[in-house]
Amino acid sequence: MLNIFTELADWITFTLFGLALHSKVGGAVHFFIEDTVKIFFLLVVMIYFIALIRASLNIEKVRDYLAGKNRFIGYFMGSIFGAITPFCSCSSIPVFLGFTSGGIPVGITMSFLLTSPLINEVAVLLLLSLVGWEITLIYVLVGLAVGITGGIFLDLIHAETLLQPFALKAYQSAKPTVNYDANRPAISFRERHEFAKQELLDILSRVWKWVFIGVGLGAALHGFVPISWIEANLGSGQWWSVPLAVLLGIPLYSNASGVIPVMESLIAKGLPIGTTLAFCMSTVAASFPEFILLKQVMTWRLLAIIFALLLASFTAVGWTLNAVNFN
Amino acid sequence: MKEIKVLGSGCAKCTKTAESIQSVATECSIPVNVVKETSPEVIMSFGVMSTPAVVVDNILMHSGSIPDRKKIESWLK
């Protein structure tokens, strides 16, 4: 079904623009057209339908569910909910405090917050259409694993003692939350449609520029960086290439929709999957602007620990996947 | 005069919420005092997890999105 996008790009690039079939520019332009059209088409269709389905899921429900759960189920479900709950990074502080003051352990809250930028419906969708289901599955499992182990680790070191004093107080004096949904009427299809429309506009207005930037970079890589160069220099998964990729990802600030087209290109050029994933996850999850936000509820020490934890896990993931060597 | 607080960490949606409340109030010539509240402690005290949220005379009326015009009008009356 997705072939129509290749054919459309063929036609525009080679017939309409008259670019030569195997030229560098032709390759880059073709990649750009195919991917932008495909990505926007998929985004519009899928965001709408997914939003229709999850219109009745909200953050209050998630909190009520997670409060009072067994710890280990908590980390797992926290991470899963982080992946599926609609959630904007500007809400991370209120969500953090809402969870904490509902008595949910910091580790479980962080499982939620760490997984959230890594996995979402847009990311999964793009991965599926650009790099295939095997890598998508690996990506999702790795994302969940990072969230879960990160959460467990933070509770083991008693991260709550490193919160800002008012947040710690809120955690210690937590009361059971009121059941928020008990007195809410079920939502009608009309409301679902409204919600889905709103979500679609919202997400598109947030990600469109990342798609262009990401696909642009991917296209440039695709057209102008020779396969032989990447294969010769990074192709065998040299051990230092993974931490290097993670470090490179930190100052690059993007979200999943921008980085996945770059991933597609890097994998096609022969960069090992572990190195590629390490780079992409670091770009998406380890970003300074969002970390600085958390300073409002955490001490510098805890922030530094979480940051180091992320970098270490991405490096470990990269090494492991390179060692296993999927092909 | 109604005391209206827009709770949010200062993102674009919160600014827009405050602006649209102000403009509806001006149009209907209802005196209001709209303040943006960014302190996480205050946001937490209202039990709000999704911003922007709107508090009218210390009662939480709305949370999680930019409110539509009809809603805003109903608060001002």
Measured CA to CA, the distance from residue B27 to residue A217 in angstroms comes to: 47
Q: How far is CA A267 from CA A1, A170, A227, A264, in A?
A: 23, 46, 10, 5
Number of domains in chain A: 1
- Rounded to whole angstroms, the Cα distance separating A146 from A115 reads 7
Q: A173 φ, ψ to 5°?
A: -100, 25
ipTM score assigned to the predicted complex: 0.80
Q: Is the pLDDT of residue B26 over 50?
A: yes
Decide if A34 is inside a domain: no
Pairing of strands B2-7, B32-37: parallel
Of the residues A93, A191, A194, A199, the best mutation for testing chain B's interface (the one with the most B CB atoms within 10 Å of its CB) is A93
Residue scoring higher pLDDT (A314 or A10): A314
pLDDT at A315 over 90: yes
Report A:275-294 residues touching B (Cβ under 8 A).
Answer: 293
Tell whether A36 is covered by a domain: no
Ranges of each domain in chain B: 2-66
Amino acid, single-letter form, for residue B8:
G
What's the CA gap between A81 and A151, in Å, rounded?
13
Interhelix angle A133-156/A121-131, rounded to 10 degrees, is: 140
Does the residue A13 lie in any domain?
no
Name the pTM for this structure.
0.80
A155: in domain? yes
For residue A1, name the pLDDT band (cuts at 50, 70, 90): low
Q: Is the pLDDT assigned to residue A239 strictly greater than 70?
A: yes
pLDDT tens for residues A296-311? Answer: 889 999 999 999 998 9
By residue count, chain A amounts to 327
CATH topology for the B2-66 domain: Glutaredoxin (3.40.30)
- Is A146's pLDDT higher than 50? yes
What domain range includes position A301? Answer: 55-186+225-324
Task: Tell me what the mean pLDDT of segment A159-176 comes to.
Answer: 84
Tens digits of per-residue pLDDT, A196-235? Answer: 888 888 888 878 888 888 888 888 887 777 767 776 677 7
CA separation, residue A301 to residues A180, A294, A298 (Å) = 34, 12, 8
Residues of B with CB under 8 A from a CB of A: 7-11, 13, 40-41, 43-44, 47-51, 64-65
H or E stretch covering B6: strand B2-7
Condensed to tens digits (0 to 9), the pLDDT of residues A64-107 reads: 888 877 888 899 999 988 888 766 666 788 888 888 888 889 99
Return d(Cα A19, Cα A25) in angstroms, integer.
Answer: 8
In order of A22, A34, A41, A114, the CA distances from A31 in angstroms are 12, 5, 15, 32
In a domain, A203, yes or no: no
Tell whether A15 is covered by a domain.
Answer: no
Interface of A with B in 147-186 (CB under 8 A): 166, 170
Q: Is residue A99 part of a domain?
A: yes
Is residue A60 in a domain?
Answer: yes
Tens of pLDDT, residue by residue over B39-69, are 888 888 888 888 888 998 888 888 877 888 8
Mutate one of B13, B16, B36, B49 to test the A interface: name it (highest A CB count within 10 A): B49
Q: Which pLDDT belongs to residue A182?
A: 47
pLDDT of residue A86: 64
Which residue from A61, A143, A145, A157 is spatially nearest to A105, judged by alpha carbons? Answer: A157
pLDDT at A192: 85
Determine whether the interchain pair A296/B44 forms a contact, defined as Cβ–Cβ distance below 8 Å: no
Does A163 score more than 80 pLDDT? yes
Query: If you compute the radius of gyration of chain B from its CA atoms, what whole number of angstroms results?
Result: 11
Residue A252: pLDDT over 80: no
Categorize the per-residue pLDDT at A321 as very low, low, confident or very high, splitting at 50, 70 and 90. confident
